Chain A
Amino acid sequence: MTGNSHTVGGDTTHRVVLPFYAYAAFSFLAASLLLFRSSSAFTGHFFQPAILAVTHTMALGWGTMIIMGASHQLLPVLTENRLFSVALAYVSFVLAAIGIPLLVYAFYTFQLGWPARWGGSAIVVAIFCFVINIWGTLTGGNRDNVHAVYAVTASVWLLLAAFTGLALVYNFTSPFLPQGSLAYLPFHAHIGIAGWFLLLVIGVGSRLIPMFLISKYANERLLWIIYFLINGGLLSFLFLFFLPAGLSFAWLPIIVVFIALVLFGYYCYCCYRERIRRQVDSRMKISLSSTGMLWIPPILLIILVAALPVGHVDSRLVLVYGFITFFGWITAIILGMTFKTLPFIVWNKIYHARSGAGSSPNPGELVDNSLFRAMMVAWLAGSLVFIAGICCRRVPVLRAGAALLVSAAVLYNWNVWKVLTYKSPAK
């Protein structure tokens, strides 16, 4: 047989990936505790120190850290190439791990001096290292791979979001922008939400979903259309943001991104319909159902934009939008995908050298399914109760919702800990 020969073992070492997972798990717990402690802040305006602290713990410590960690593992699979640099991955982790708590502390105490500046700078450098690593991995591998192009583009949007965030921090204490930092928040937030989280989730999800379902469905053309719609929507949003009359057309990028999300929902449905593997585990079901949740934030945004000309934007709507984005769909995807990808990494660490033909467990068996189910119930109930609390502006309801989310975070950490410390049964 002729053809390309490969050596195995090109996958990324678990030593560099697992710290990202552990850090993210702890951040989820910290964010939930902050949410509980600061529940009363959610009865007022969205721009408050505690809400900024919770949002950045969720966006950076939880979402970004786990996605960065998983990307180091998955990008070699997507690009069919080795990770460009393990050392850069360590540098990314250390800098982000130091920078995030500094920034969150600065937001929580609203002292935007050196902790915010140094923390923000460390995060920007960490993300810059991540972008170099992603870019280097892609350029040495299969460049035509649509999933890898999604990942690289998402990482560039992340760098831009982090850089604008740092600029806003400086603008708070030493104003240099034409307007106050609050005016630029939608710009910073949506580059991060749509440019980073959405693009990466779709890019990686469109590869993992058919892989885990063993689906015959493939439609690269559709994925390219979705890619251009999301990036087109983002670019038009940035353009309109700086146009004096841009507000009148603010609905346009939202509609464009919404169409992309509908198409991605169709892609997921086709993968599910054409799957060879009939049994779909609960972790996969959660990940699939979270793609339906992707549609909720743009619908809320359309309502918000419709309220803009009237001049009355209900801050509750903004709070629900932010909550559903970070504690809703981003968290749902991570909750499901953590217990699909983490057991693989740990299983490989334990069993790869033992080549356990027939004698090793399935990676899914490393997860405690009872804990997983309890976690999902606590998360769903907590999210619904907290949203009800935002809508009715009742602190006890917000506290109850936050307490349920703390329970979900504890159960998540417990299960992650069990997987991380899994020991092979003695023979």
Chain B
Amino acid sequence: MNVVTNNDLQCTIALAALENVLDPEIGLNVVDLGLIYRLEFDEPGLGIAVAMTLSTPYCPMGESITAAVEQVLKETFTGISVTIELTFQPPWSYDRISEAGKIFLSR
């Protein structure tokens, strides 16, 4: 997935949860789409900093997708604060789609 993190275990749990957040048009989840760049966890377990992107800046679905990411992480890690940084550096490209995502799209 190529996601930068400071806590592999927590990251695995978060990514598993984020597989439930789908791009509404494509039907593929944000993890396999390669939209998640970084997941950083505060050591005391108080917060998660997410760096993610969209397939295009000002994507009409952007607000829905980022809100869903925030909600899913809050549900998975109860009582934790989530901050989302939306970045377009580097810009998203088709090469970021995972092998599983490519198989899903080729069906």
Contact = CB atoms under 8 A, between A and B. Distances in A.
Interface of A: 1-11, 73, 76-77, 80-82, 211-212, 214, 216, 276-279, 344-345, 347-348, 351-353, 355-358, 360, 362-364
17 contacts: A1-B85, A1-B87, A5-B85, A11-B58, A77-B57, A211-B55, A212-B25, A214-B26, A344-B25, A348-B64, A351-B64, A352-B64, A352-B67, A355-B67, A355-B70, A362-B25, A362-B27
Nearest to A278: B106
Nearest to B25: A363
A251 B58 CA distance: 42
Given A8-B66, A353-B67, A355-B67, A276 B102 contact: yes
A360 B94 contact: no
A219 to B, nearest CB: 15
B24 interface: yes
B93 to A, nearest CB: 9
Contacts of B66: 8
B61 A344 contact: yes
Of A9, A277, A344, A363, most buried by chain B (CB within 10 Å of CB) is A277
A362 B25 CA distance: 6
B7 interface: no
Contacts of A7: 86
A348 B20 CA distance: 18
A76 B107 contact: no
A360 to B, nearest CB: 7
B11 interface: no
A214 B94 contact: yes
A279 B106 CA distance: 7
Interface in B33-68: 37-38, 51, 54-64, 66-68
Given A4-B88, A6-B58, 14 more contacts: A1-B85, A1-B89, A2-B89, A4-B89, A5-B87, A6-B86, A8-B66, A11-B63, A77-B59, A214-B26, A214-B105, A216-B94, A352-B64, A360-B24
Interface of B: 4, 20-22, 24-27, 37-38, 51, 54-64, 66-68, 70-72, 85-90, 94, 97, 102, 105-107
Contacts of B64: 348, 351-352, 355-356
A9 B60 contact: no
**Across chains A and B, which 5 residue pairs bring their CB atoms closest together, nearest first?**
A3-B89, A355-B67, A355-B68, A80-B57, A357-B68
Contacts of B72: 357
B4 to A, nearest CB: 7
A11 B62 contact: yes
A276 B86 contact: no
B87 A6 contact: yes
Given A11-B62, A276-B106, A352-B67, A358 B20 contact: yes
B38 A1 contact: yes
A49 B57 CA distance: 47
Contacts of B60: 11, 73, 77, 344-345, 348
For B61, B66, B102, the residue with the greatest tally of chain A CB atoms inside 10 Å of its CB is B61
A78 to B, nearest CB: 9
B61 A276 contact: no
A352 B70 CA distance: 13
B42 to A, nearest CB: 17
Contacts of B85: 1, 5
